[in-house]
């Protein structure tokens, strides 16, 4: 029997002011759809809500080059918008949103380490897992989950797990931690697909399982059971961080994976059970991808379900 642990929900209005333009898939509507669905379904009432603080320079420079952080935060208004890559645009509102998104991740770690909460979910934009030590890319500016992991290490933890089930490979997180054995990154992702990660066979702290186009529930669950779980049992993480991207869902336009809603409640229950065994209940999840707003909202709801409502059907 898994004990009930309160859930924290962290977001900030600034995350919705970052807008990369008409028709861009990484849009404010994503967070609005999630909020609307959780409000109308009543789940928001079961979570303690927090407004994210800004990440500090010290927290950001644990994972990003100081010059890079300065480039994002110090961009002259007259020079904006800046096209970092064809799809990643820094506007006047981006720096504040990115500071709050990374700050949410830090706050989430502090909340679960205080043992007040089991799960802390960061409903934030921009996402983070493509941002490398010194490069914004793939809609990402600061690597929120990496900032969370580095904060957990700074708080004295020695074994941190990052689970990433986004459609895309978290190349930024891999870039930041590939030589840091205290952090293990567990990934499933479509390959070939952006960012065209080809694996890193020599690095034992990257457990990555590439899935072919059209892979769905069966392949995903097999990858988790056969590849992630044995490595997690071996690692015995003291906290579990989740790059919670929902763009592997069948209705998402970005790729060709075919995850269903049930897969998100399944992986959540699996993570919950692991966390109970190894770190009592401490989980931090931060939003990554998911670009069909109604499917994203329902996927997030299903991910939260095991933590809030047990077996209540949704």
Catalytic residues: 130
Name residues contacting Zn ion, limited to 191-210 (CB under 5 A): none
Q: Applying CB under 5 A, which part among 34-42, 139-147, 176-184, 239-247 lies near Zn ion?
A: 239-247
What's the CA gap between 124 and 120, in Å, rounded? 12
Stretch that binds Zn ion, among 12-20, 40-48, 61-69, 242-250 (CB under 5 A): 242-250
Q: Is 243 helix (H, G, I), strand (E, B) or coil?
A: strand
Work out whether 245 is an interface residue with Zn ion (CB under 5 A).
yes
DSSP conformational letter for 118: S
User: Whole-number minimum distance, CB 26 to Zn ion, in Å?
Assistant: 9
Q: Please, which residue, 7 or 295, has the CB nearer to Zn ion?
A: 295
Q: Minimum distance from CB of 289 to Zn ion (Å)?
A: 3
Measured from the CB atom, is 117 or 220 closer to Zn ion? 220
Torsion of CA 290, 200, 273, 279, to 10 degrees: -110
- Closest separation between CB of residue 299 and Zn ion, Å? 12
Please state the closest distance from residue 167 (CB atom) to Zn ion, in A. 5
Residue 155 CB: number of other CB atoms within 10 A? 13
Backbone CA torsion sign across 151, 121, 44, 14: positive
In sequence order, the β-bridge partners of residue 287 are 244
Shorter beta-carbon distance to Zn ion: residue 24 or 62: 24
Q: Backbone phi, then psi, for 159, in 5-degree steps? A: -135, 110
Report the residue number, 46 or 194, with the smaller CB distance to Zn ion.
194
Contact 47, 10 (CB under 8 A): no
With respect to Zn ion, which residue has the nearer C-beta, 166 or 263?
166
Which residue in 27, 31, 146, 167 binds Zn ion (CB under 5 A)?
A: 167
Among 175, 247, 263, 301, binds Zn ion (CB under 5 A): 247
Q: Which is nearer to Zn ion, 152 or 163 (CB)?
A: 163
**Which residue of the chain is nearest Zn ion when measured via CB?**
289
**Cβ(17)–Cβ(93) below 8 Å:** yes
- The DSSP secondary-structure symbol of 52 reads P
- For the chain, helix (H) and strand (E) counts, in that order, are 10, 10
Nearest to 52 by CA among 122, 131, 155, 125: 122
Size of the site for Zn ion (CB under 5 A): 6
**In whole angstroms, how close is the CB of 288 to Zn ion at the nearest point?**
6
Torsion sign across C-alpha atoms 201, 286, 283, 189: negative
User: Residue 280 and residue 277: Cα distance in Å, rounded?
Assistant: 6
**Nearest approach, Cβ of residue 193 and Zn ion (Å):** 9
Phi, psi for residue 110 in degrees, rounded to 5: -60, -40
Binding mask 283-312 for Zn ion (x = CB under 5 A): ------x-----------------------
Contact 278, 198 (CB under 8 A): no
Judged by CB under 5 A, the residue of 26, 166, 251, 263 near Zn ion is 166
Interacting residues toward Zn ion by CB under 5 A: 166-168, 245, 247, 289
């Amino acid at each position: 029997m898994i004990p009930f642990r309160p859930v924290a929900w962290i977001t900030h209005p600034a995350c919705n002011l970052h807008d990369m333009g008409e028709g861009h898939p990484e849009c404010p509507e994503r967070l609005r759809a999630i909020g609307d669905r959780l409000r109308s379904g009543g789940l928001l009432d079961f979570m303690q809500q927090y407004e994210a603080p800004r990440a500090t320079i010290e927290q950001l420079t644990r994972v990003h080059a100081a010059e890079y952080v300065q480039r994002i935060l110090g961009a002259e208004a007259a020079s904006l918008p800046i096209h970092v890559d064809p799809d990643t645009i820094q506007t006047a509102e981006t720096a504040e949103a990115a500071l709050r998104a990374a700050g949410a991740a830090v706050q989430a770690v502090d909340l679960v380490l205080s043992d007040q909460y089991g799960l802390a979910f960061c409903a934030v934009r921009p996402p983070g897992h493509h941002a490398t030590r010194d490069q914004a890319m793939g809609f990402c500016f600061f690597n929120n989950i990496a900032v969370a992991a580095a904060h957990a290490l700074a708080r004295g933890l020695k074994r941190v797990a990052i689970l990433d089930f986004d459609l895309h490979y978290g190349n930024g997180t891999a870039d930041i931690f590939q030589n840091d054995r205290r952090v293990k990154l567990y990934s499933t992702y479509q390959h070939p697909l952006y960012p065209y990660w080809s694996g890193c066979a020599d690095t034992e702290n990257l457990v990555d399982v590439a899935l072919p186009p059209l892979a769905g529930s069966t392949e995903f669950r097999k990858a988790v059971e056969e590849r992630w779980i044995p490595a997690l049992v071996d690692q015995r993480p003291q906290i579990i961080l989740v790059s919670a991207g929902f763009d592997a869902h069948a209705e998402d336009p970005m790729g060709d994976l075919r995850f269903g809603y049930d897969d998100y409640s399944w992986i959540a229950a699996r993570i919950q059970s692991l966390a109970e065994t190894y770190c009592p209940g401490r989980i931090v999840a931060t939003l990554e991808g998911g670009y069909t707003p109604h499917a994203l909202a329902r996927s997030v709801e299903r991910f939260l379900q095991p933590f809030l409502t047990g077996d209540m059907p949704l």
